[in-house]
Structure 1
Amino acid sequence: MKMLLRAGCVVLLSATFLACSNSKQNKGDAYFNKGKYEEAVGEYSETLKFNPNDVTSLYNRGRAFEEQGQYDSALNDFEKAMQIDPNNFQILLSIANIHYLNKEYSKSLLFANRAEEISGAPATASFMKGRALHQLGNTLDAMKAYNNAIKLDKDFAQAYFNRGMLKVATNKKRGGCEDFQLANGLEYPGAKEALEKYCK
């Protein structure tokens, strides 16, 4: 289940930034899109030799490191990118995600909060804020953050699922089952199993 949740967030994080890369695709992007992350790192590193402040290459190399489980290297690239572009919510969310994966929930919350405050931030920012608050045991604020994520994106299956888990954990089984049903309708992996486990 943890792997499913991680995978969902990674997909959310990667889609936006890669789509914003330069119109002429870097060879690293082609490798990344094929799942050849080690080769992608090599190509992004070549680009960075000539332009060490290329935010897109730093970010994408960080994502390639992250896909390989090299979280320290990923965090290093994301932090360098953030120094160049401190108001880029995608970079802030990626840093939040690395801290979350490292079980550093307070740090994850800090960066998710920063991302959420930026104009135009996606629903993912509120979701990641909720996820960190959930782990820190702040159920009331976690619920508010999940609610906001869903308000911003009515089709955010993972937010419904996580909100359902939070409701079940706080003895609001009926509401949790409704959220699992919504997540299942949006084909979120694990929602069907949650329905069978908690809602029979």
Structure 2
Amino acid sequence: MLLIIWAKNNALNNFFIIKAVQLIFLNGFFILFFYLKIKYICKDKKWDIIFNLLSMKNLLSTIVLSFILILNLCAQSSVEELFYISFDVDAETAKDYRKQIIEKSPGSMYAMYCEGWFKTKSDSAEDALNIANKLVEKYPDFVFSYLLRGNCHFYLKDYAKAMQEYNKVIQLDPKESGGFHNRGVCKYFLEDYRGAITDYDKALELDSNFAKTYYRRGLAKIKIGRIDDGCLDLSKAGEMGFLEAYDEIKKQCR
């Protein structure tokens, strides 16, 4: 019962895991009740042989092992879901979530990414790059390994190397908008404004709720003389909560 209450109060736990806990309780008690009732009614020894296969010890062991399995699933699910949610919240909430990930799952690929992310935010891009290299080596199929390493190269102003990592992100997961957005930023700093706009377009096609992409695309459009279109993008970014866009509107837009 306590486990069910805990799971319901934890917003990150999957609905089906909660149901699995409930089913184990219900099935366990049903089997126990059925077992005892038949044992009481049927005195024949052949029933003893059959029902001894379903002994109390085995039943309790099954329930306990199921609880342990579900607790592990809940913990893994919480960390993974917390990781992905951290990309869709404000900066302060993201920091809080990523601290929790490091505490809950030290050494996991999610925790390693978060450790590297914190290093980039504290101007320790070299240290972050060391973490990213280890992450890529340990988890080569984890798309965020390359996203982190690309970010490290970006902060070190090596835009060409950063683009190589973002290309890998796109190769591994063509639906990951961050790969296109970040590659677009690199192209912008390399003064390939049209290429940047193409990547921003794709990023927004995949995720139209990322205000910073509208902001970046607006700046790129202004660079190639599409002032009105660029200002519309900046305005959209501001409306979505990216307030820096309003400063650019004052400078760039009439």
TM-score range, shorter chain: 0.7 to 0.9
| Consecutive aligned runs of 4 or more in structure 1 exceeding 6 Å deviation | none
Distance 1:101 1:186, change over 3 A: same
Distance (whole Å) between structure 2 residues aligned to residue 55 and residue 82 of structure 1: 9
| RMSD of aligned Cα (Å) | 2.8
1:66-124 deviation digits (Å, cap 9, x = unpaired): 23221111110111011111122212111111111111000111111110122364211
1:187 alignment partner in structure 2: 241
Q: Which runs of no fewer than 5 residues in structure 1 stay unpaired?
A: 1-15, 22-31, 49-53
2:82 alignment partner in structure 1: 19
Counterpart of 1:135, as a letter, is F
- Tell me whether 1:59 sits opposite 2:113 in the alignment: yes
What is the TM-score of this pair, normalised by structure 2? 0.58
- Tell me whether 1:33 sits opposite 2:96 in the alignment: yes
Q: Which runs of no fewer than 5 residues in structure 2 stay unpaired?
A: 1-78, 85-94
Distance (whole Å) between structure 1 residues aligned to residue 186 and residue 166 of structure 2: 8
Q: What number of residue pairs does the alignment pair up? A: 166
Distance (whole Å) between structure 2 residues aligned to residue 55 and residue 35 of structure 1: 12
CA drift of 1:186 comes to 0.6
Match of 2:124 among 62, 70, 77: 70
Distance (whole Å) between structure 1 residues aligned to residue 219 and residue 119 of structure 2: 30
The secondary structure found in structure 1 opposite 2:172 is coil
Match of 1:117 among 143, 154, 171: 171
1:11 alignment partner in structure 2: none
What is the TM-score of this pair, normalised by structure 1? 0.73
- Tell me whether 1:175 sits opposite 2:175 in the alignment: no
Q: Which has the larger radius of gyration?
A: 2
1:180-199 deviation digits (Å, cap 9, x = unpaired): 11111111121111112111
- Tell me whether 1:86 sits opposite 2:140 in the alignment: yes
The percentage of counterpart residues that share the same residue type is: 22
8 Å Cα contact 1:88/1:115 also seen in 2: no
